[in-house]
């Protein structure tokens, strides 16, 4: 029996695909209403914008998982293998603390917004739900950064995931 753990779960991919499909449906519906029915749906544009914000934050975690984020590797590439691993680990630890900063401050932000009772103009969605993308994106990034740190010292785990 193959046991799936969080390290090989594709949470971000499923969320991104679902979000993109939702945006496509919303924009298509808006176009149909605007040009065929001569009526506009103001709420669909606003909701698309909020979904796009969520996509940006989830994509940040996805880029960590797939190692497709922007990196400057000049110093790391001229070093030998043990020093390269140390440099990579230091970078991941610094990035991890930044992700924790996003989680902590994002949580404080949504608590403040929740306290005000602010809602979106067209949809009436509580704005704390929109801003919830920041701590969730930071949490997913932190999780994937831990995963990448483990892969530095246990590369066989990364190879096993790539096979699945």
Which of 135, 144, 132, 125 minimizes the C-alpha distance to 8?
A: 144
pTM, entire model: 0.80
Query: pLDDT tens, 106-159?
Result: 999 999 999 999 999 888 999 999 999 999 999 999 999 999 999 888 766 555
| 153 part of a folded domain | yes
Q: What is the mean pLDDT of the chain?
A: 86
Identify the domain containing residue 102 by its residue range: 6-163
Hey, is 126 helix, strand or coil? strand
| 70 part of a folded domain | yes
Number of domains in the chain: 1
Query: pLDDT tens, 5-34?
Result: 554 568 889 999 999 999 999 999 999 988
């Amino acid at each position: 029996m193959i046991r799936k753990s969080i390290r090989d779960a594709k949470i971000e991919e499923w969320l991104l695909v679902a979000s993109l499909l939702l945006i496509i449906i919303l924009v298509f519906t808006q176009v149909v209403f605007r040009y065929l029915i001569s009526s506009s749906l103001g709420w669909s544009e606003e909701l698309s914008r909020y979904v796009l914000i969520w996509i940006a934050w989830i994509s940040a975690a996805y880029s960590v998982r797939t190692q497709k984020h922007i990196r400057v590797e000049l110093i790391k590439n001229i070093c030998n293998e043990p020093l390269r691993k140390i440099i990579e680990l230091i970078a991941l630890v610094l990035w991890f603390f930044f992700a924790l900063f996003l989680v902590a401050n994002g949580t404080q932000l949504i608590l403040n917004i929740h306290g005000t009772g602010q809602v979106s103009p067209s949809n009436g969605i509580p704005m704390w739900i929109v801003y919830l993308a920041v701590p969730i994106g930071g949490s997913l990034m932190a999780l994937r950064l831990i995963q990448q740190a483990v892969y530095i010292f246990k590369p066989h785990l990364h190879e096993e995931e790539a096979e699945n």
